[in-house]
A and B are shown apart, each in its own frame.
Chain A
Amino acid sequence: MTFASLLAVDWPWASWPWWADTSVKMVFAIVAVLIPAGGTVYLYLFKMVSFMQSRLGPMEAGPYGSMQLLAELGKNVQKEDIFPEKADRWVFALAPYVVLMSTFLLAVVVPFGPQAQFTNLDTGVYFALAVSSVSVVGILMAGWASASKYSLLGGLRAAGQLIAYELPLILAVVGVVIQAGTLNLQEIVAAQNQQEIFGWGGIGNPFILTQGLGFLIFMIAVQAELTQGPFDMPVAESELVSGYMTEYSGFRFLMFFIGEFATANIFAFLGSVLFLGGWALPPFVTDLLGIEWDSPWMNVIGPGVMFTKMLLITFVIYWVRFTYPRFREDQLQKFAWKVLIPLSLVNIAITGALKVAF
């Protein structure tokens, strides 16, 4: 079950030593994290938002500004790497790496096809939700080490918010886990593909249909985890300048930036695995094509399917982000503890009861 067995053919690297296997995986990891991040940033952050706000967005770099990302990259790489005078240099320098590390660790368990996965952990869901909280450490490090009051306020707000919304995120996923009966992400995909709706298996049973409430809570919690949209109090630009990122410049700022948007994509990937059926095509489509639902061809088609679903979810994320005003810190906490967590507990109870009944 490694990437080497892609297309279930004896590719030459199947017998390669571990370091070669790992190198190939690392290249693919960078592709799987950075390409979708760049794609969504251009498509949504640059273009869709511009159209929402009745402007054109970048138009000069390349056709329709499609090379704008390279320009941004060049700009940020050129910039001076500034350390504030009183900053804790080591922690300050390390913080963006910790944040980005959390993103890459999240990508490890996401399945893109029956064999196209970096690691198939039996506790995939558990692992993903656990490593997603590593970024809190990085954000706190950034906020504290910057020696700036805005950064400190931003870092503390972020810590409070991320911890509060971790809980509804996990509880929302519990419903899916109960219904699939497994923590393994591949098996969750299989469960969605093979279950039936009232005896009709044409589209399988994507859990968004039965776990609609869970999906809603998941999306809201993801929005908060990403500090986007109405939950962007930690980076509230109109009061905290840029929150925990205030003192960063150049490449380190770029890393925070990539971390923010790449994490949005990985969470969207996770959301499509957990609620939208993952990489699998609906059974009636695979019947038409005349292939097994987990045929080796899905290692090629699967990433495309996942990418499409990811674009759908990130569209909603950015749409909400640029429409709503933001919550205040206390309102945000109240919303997590008094609304989302009770709702997700109710969801778990109902799912459990129905699971036992049927």
Chain B
Amino acid sequence: MTAVSDRRQLAYIAAQAADARVNVELEAEGMTLNIGPQHPATHGTLRIVARLDGEQVIEADPIMGYMHRGYEKLTEVRTYPQVTTLINRIDWLGSFANEVPFILAAEQLMDVEAPPRAQHIRTILFELARIANVTLFLGDMGVQLGAVTPVFYAFRDREHVLNQIEAATGGRFHPNFDRIGGLKDDLPAGWIEETKKSLKEIRKFCDQMDDLIVGNEIFQARTRGIGVIPADVGLSYGLSGANIRASGVDWDLRRDNPVGLVYDKVDWKVWTHPDGDSFARYWVRLQEVRESCNIVEQLLDTIPSGPVMAKVPRIIKVPEGEAYIETENPLGVMGYYVVSKGGLNPFRVKIRSASFSNMSISPWLLKGAYVPDVITILASLYFILGDIDR
């Protein structure tokens, strides 16, 4: 009995000490403003402790971990096919994209390759997940700046893509569709035509956002020259995805290292912007959604026939070894380092999620910004809480 209460007491004291450390570190002249953990701008439970001088931020400290769900540890007690259910929930807006690198890593360990048809469909779903994810950002950026209407358009048009994902996989948000060695099912009849139609809606939506947001003088005044990330600083903080491409770094894993996906068979372009400010990040993402539509349209016309599943044993045992696979996910580079000691469960999985690295630049970036700009900068960095805290 005493042991339990002692442990509890110790835990309590430790928690108090941790809080006190945070408070002492941030104690200074000026006002301390807690943005979060519950705040309309953070899409979840991110807490930013900002020390303000008037409305200017002297120091900002993101405190993460309010939504930590321990996925890396949980994977150790799941079999390989079960893991995809969990990791679907990391970046919950583009769920399918989370499954792919893990499955690829497991396939590499097992020395299995998915048949070409499966690879094609994987790539299509991967890009549809990107569209579903980034369209919401395109609308949401407007809300963060005070324009309420675009986000409703984003939800409306995102639905077209979600419907297609649902039609193919059975799940709107969490498809859990990728399997080691291929896919769960083939595409349903008529899916290709329907998808082409929904891509047209997305292109229309992109044009609408071009008019409503990018062309708006107030939007430009609020984002141009705000939150500038020079390329070298961005790289040193480990930024990836559209955030680093908006700083002029021409780096996209889809083109540079397309493991297991068929991007090399498509004619497409990597968009970059030289400015590195909030506007550039928005612009690059907008172009990327259009480019994704372009990629999917080309892939839809060239799906090869054949099986969608390679020959794999019914009970999956992964031989001993290590593999690291990273892919260009909607939020940036996402990688899984999978260590297997043989057997049904992974021995250790390290998840490199994009938002966590993207957020790490925020203390550097927010220093000297105004409170309204804190919101736009954070919005333009585009993080998903599940992707930060895992």
Contact = CB atoms under 8 A, between A and B. Distances in A.
A322 B152 CA distance: 12
Interface string B323-351: 00000000000000000000000000000
Nearest to B157: A54
Interface in A180-216: none
A330 B41 CA distance: 21
Interface string B140-173: 0011111111001100100000000000000000
Contacts of A239: 35, 41, 371-372, 374-375
A241 interface: yes
A149 B34 CA distance: 9
A331 B147 CA distance: 17
Contacts, number: 78
A72 interface: no
A216 to B, nearest CB: 16
A90 interface: no
A325 B146 contact: yes
Interface in A270-320: none
B10 to A, nearest CB: 31
Contacts of A124: none
B218 A327 contact: yes
Contacts of B41: 238-239
Interface string B208-239: 00001100101101100000000000000000
Interface in A301-351: 322-331
A153 B32 CA distance: 12
Given A236-B372, A239-B41, A241-B39, A325 B145 contact: yes
Interface string B367-388: 0001111110000000000000
B152 A238 contact: no
A232 interface: yes
State the main secondary structure of chain B at its contact with A.
Answer: helix
B187 interface: no
A232 B146 CA distance: 8
Contact of A324 (B153, B156, B218, B371): B218
A53 interface: yes
B221 to A, nearest CB: 6
B145 A241 contact: no
Contact of B149 (A236, A238, A322, A327): A322
Nearest to B374: A239
Nearest to B375: A239
A230 interface: yes
A55 interface: yes
Contacts of B152: 53-55
Nearest to A328: B372
Residue from A150, A322, A326 whose CB has the most chain B CB atoms within 10 Å: A326
A52 interface: yes
A153 B149 CA distance: 25
Nearest to B143: A238
A52 B221 contact: no
B382 to A, nearest CB: 15
A258 interface: no
A238 B375 contact: yes
B14 interface: no
Given A236-B372, A238-B146, A325-B219, A149 B33 contact: yes
Given A239-B41, A239-B374, A329-B370, A52 B149 contact: yes
Contacts of A149: 31, 33
A233 interface: yes
9 contacts: A53-B148, A153-B371, A230-B146, A238-B146, A239-B35, A325-B213, A325-B219, A325-B222, A329-B372
Interface of A: 49, 52-55, 149-150, 153, 230, 232-233, 236-241, 322-331
